[in-house]
Structure 1
Amino acid sequence: MTLRVAIVGLGKIARDQHVPSIATVEGVELTAVASRNASLDGVACFSTLDEMLGHADLFEAVALCTPPQGRHELAHAALSAGKHVLLEKPPGATVSEVRPLEALAREKGVSLFATWHSRFAPAVEPARAFLAQSRIRSVRIEWKEDVRKWHPGQEWIWEPGGLGVFDPGINALSILTAILPRPVFLTKSDLSFPENRAAPIAAALAFSDGAGVPVEADFDWRETRGEIWNIMAETDAGSLTVADGGKRMLVDGQVRLDEPDREYAAIYRRFAELAATGGIDVDLSPLQHVADAFLLGRRHVVEAFVES
């Protein structure tokens, strides 16, 4: 049976990833979109979710690709209408607003899927298996990119709830929490805020786990030489690197895996599986780590950020 999906928020991530990925997944079809400022050929187009829900026979599921601020209200409306809901990352602007959505989904007998696209990268599961068989000595994350390239004109990302540099950094945290054999907790957070922005442009974090293994993370939106999306673990079985956002895995510098990005196609296959059974997949640990980074964060004011 085909899962008919409606997208809410036809912005950059929806056009770059969701729309083309849905087209490649058997058993999933895009049938409607709701967007204030955009439309898509070949599907029913609406201005708002409320307007789209007035034509509820067109779809069984809703993918929310809007900014996290205000997403709770949209998710609540879709779930209340009996629709399966997919949440683009992060699943909400706060940790506490997501759990009631999970309870509502169970009440309505529909699926709720809080997606972490980087967890579907090809190197993640092999890295998890490697670390499960190893004694980890230390972990270091370097996650750096150019905000002007990846988030052009997205003013919402600098507002409270937009996460700033944690928008990409949470991808690293989603991989970290998937591959480590034990949970980690934050011990130190240094956040760099441009003097004219409400969200950080860089973050230096330290974590530990129950065994005292140190984990360090360096997130930065000011990298102009190219993307650096790597997680390195020193272990008794060698040095593991999950590179290029999870596309590659190396051990002691030797490539063990190198595959193209098919993360969003895998997300929609998972969504179809959940919808078929009314399953719930909501892990908030990456978002909790971000919340903790703000709780423990020492604020450092840096030069103003001007996009152009």
Structure 2
Amino acid sequence: MSAPIRIGLVGIGKIARDQHIPALAHCDEFTLVAGASRNATLDGITTFNDLDEMLAGNDELQAISLCTPPQVRYGQARRAIEAGRHVFLEKPPGVTLSEVEDLYRRAHQAGVTLYASWHAREAAGVAQAREWLVGRSITRVDIQWREDVRTWHPGQEWIWQPGGLGVFDPGINALSIVTHILPMDFFLTRARLEVPENHQAPIGATLDFTDANDTPIHADLDWRQTGPQTWRITVETRDGTLVLDEGGSKLFIDDELVLDGDDVEYVGLYRHFAELIRAGMCDVDIRPFRHVADAFMMGERVIVDAFHD
């Protein structure tokens, strides 16, 4: 067995504490040896003020996981790549397609791994859903992705700023699944973005896509849902209907529960990252991000009531 890869975590906020740190603790492929944050520390782990201090203070560091807001991630990823470290990007991988493509070129030239992660693809039912859809004729796709921003992003102002994506921060999870499981490419035809009068990013969005066969693909994204949350993708085919529910952890075929899995998303991400590093490869799929960029480019902006956390 190869020795665990020594990794540092940059950004010790909610997503790092909720997902990354527990996943790394259950992933034998990595050892968490350092953290970087101006506002937080990790028990038993050396914590630096920022990435530059981390890189200067730990010569044995092999990989960096970036859990910082996307607005600052390009510069951090570039410096880590230039220092010869493998880089894991939380989703979304950046604020523009161009900067992510530039990071991919730099990683390839430097001979290090760059992984643009999409955690929802690692949900328990996604792989089986993808396999079931192979060769089937799809007639309609419906995406319902509705949650309460106050629950999942309390007090996080960066999500409402340019580059923060607003409701597309969770909505891109749905897009990452459908781009992975559907056996055809699709493109946006219409978008309606509801933007609070006191913010820059949308709180709700409706999207219509199609493909070369004119298949209707519809998405409703909303950040104002209280009570039970809705993360559901329905794919109708000539052979039956597939539903991925609860973010992909539950898989139904024709109303029959086929799989009800545990939350294994981030452990799966880090295991894939380790495989990429061992193989000397990158994984940078920007299709979900491109659909979001298309929505911002062609979407009708509708101003709605102010939103206060």
Q: TM-score, normalised by structure 2?
A: 0.98
Q: C-alpha root-mean-square deviation of aligned residues, in Å?
A: 0.7
Work out whether residues 122 and 261 of structure 1, in 8 Å CA contact, stay in contact via their aligned partners in 2: yes
* 1:141-160 to 2 correspondences below 5 Å: 141-160=143-162
**Partners in 2 of 1:116 and 1:63 — Cα distance?**
13
> CA offset at residue 27 of structure 1?
2.1
Residue 202 (structure 2) aligns with: 200
Work out whether residues 146 and 226 of structure 1, in 8 Å CA contact, stay in contact via their aligned partners in 2: no
1:238 aligns with 2:240: yes
Residue 48 (structure 1) aligns with: 50
**Partners in 2 of 1:102 and 1:37 — Cα distance?**
30
Residue 65 (structure 2) aligns with: 63
Mind listing any 5+ residue stretches in structure 2 that lack a counterpart?
A: none
**Partners in 1 of 2:36 and 2:241 — Cα distance?**
46
**Partners in 2 of 1:171 and 1:194 — Cα distance?**
22
Percent identical pairs in the alignment equals 53
* 1:261-272 to 2 correspondences below 5 Å: 261-272=263-274
Residue 18 (structure 1) aligns with: 20
* 1:205-284 to 2 correspondences below 5 Å: 205-284=207-286
**Partners in 1 of 2:60 and 2:147 — Cα distance?**
39
Residue 83 (structure 2) aligns with: 81
> CA offset at residue 207 of structure 1?
0.2
User: Secondary structure of 2:171's match?
Assistant: helix
Residue 130 (structure 2) aligns with: 128
Q: TM-score, normalised by structure 1?
A: 0.98
> CA offset at residue 129 of structure 1?
1.2
The aligned length equals 307
> CA offset at residue 225 of structure 1?
2.1
> CA offset at residue 254 of structure 1?
0.7
> What letter matches 1:213 in structure 2?
T
> What letter matches 2:305 in structure 1?
E
Work out whether residues 241 and 251 of structure 1, in 8 Å CA contact, stay in contact via their aligned partners in 2: yes
Work out whether residues 208 and 214 of structure 1, in 8 Å CA contact, stay in contact via their aligned partners in 2: yes
Mind listing any 5+ residue stretches in structure 1 that lack a counterpart?
A: none
> CA offset at residue 95 of structure 1?
0.7
Work out whether residues 31 and 58 of structure 1, in 8 Å CA contact, stay in contact via their aligned partners in 2: no
